[in-house]
Structure 1
Amino acid sequence: MALINRFSSFDFECGTDEAGRGCLAGPVTAAAVILPDSFKNDILNDSKQLSEKKRVLLKPIIEKECVAFALQHIYEDEIDTINILNASIKAMHSAISQLEHTPQFIIVDGNRFKPYNTIPHKTIIKGDSKYLSIAAASVLAKTYRDAYMEKIHEEFPMYNWKQNKGYPTKAHRAAIKKYGVTKYHRKSFRLLPEQYQLDI
Structure 2
Amino acid sequence: MLRKIVNITKELNNYLYKDNCIHGDFLCLNNNRNNIKEITNYIDELECEGASVSESDLDDYIGKIINITIRVSNMKEYYDSFSSFLNKNKTTLTVDKFYIKEIDYFYDTGKDIDNQLISNYFKNIQLINILEEISDYQNKIGTELELFFYKVEKGLKLNVDYNYDDLKELNIGNLTELEEDFFNKPDKEERKQIFVNDLIGLLKDNNNYNELLKK
User: Under a length normalisation based on structure 1, what TM-score does the superposition of the two structures give?
Assistant: 0.28
More strand by share: 2
More relative contact order, 1 or 2 (CA 8 Å, 6+ apart): 1
